[in-house]
Amino acid sequence: MDDYPLLNIFLTTMWIFLWILWFMLLFRVFGDLFRDDSVGGWGKAGWCVMLIVLPFLGVFIYLIARGKGMGMREAARVKQADSEFRDYVRDAAGSEAKRSSPTEELARLADLRRDGSITEEEYQRAKALVLE
């Protein structure tokens, strides 16, 4: 352990972290480039060549030139995903409420009491919960 001091471990960890950040940024730029409909095929090809040949310069130019739009597209995508999630929850909650109305629930409880599956006391407690 003496041949690899603590500072070198720290610097190696930092460099690994920076490389991971760099690749995440590069993949994010490529993802945004291919999700953006305002750039045509030749424009996307040009950006790809720039990002592959001169990756650092290409990413920085892309962020300067298209960074604001990149943020707006991401915000719109998140807003749409949130809206779809809320619609799903609303539909799921609505269909659950439609499936078992209080009248249907009371009829089901009465059938259970009649069959002997629940006692009179359990029926009264469940009925009170349904009517609340």
% of the chain at pLDDT higher than 70: 93
- The pTM score is 0.56
Task: Provide the 8-state DSSP code for 1.
Answer: -
Query: CB–CB of 34/45 below 8 Å?
Result: no
pLDDT band at 130; cut points 50, 70, 90: confident
Nearest to 130 by CA among 14, 110, 19: 110
Distance CA 89, CA 83 (A): 10
Per-residue pLDDT, averaged over 74-89, amounts to 92
Query: CB–CB of 97/72 below 8 Å?
Result: no
44 contacts: CB under 8 Å, gap ≥ 6: 33, 34
Tens digits of residue pLDDT in 49-77: 999 999 999 999 999 999 899 999 999 99
Per-residue pLDDT, averaged over 28-54, amounts to 91
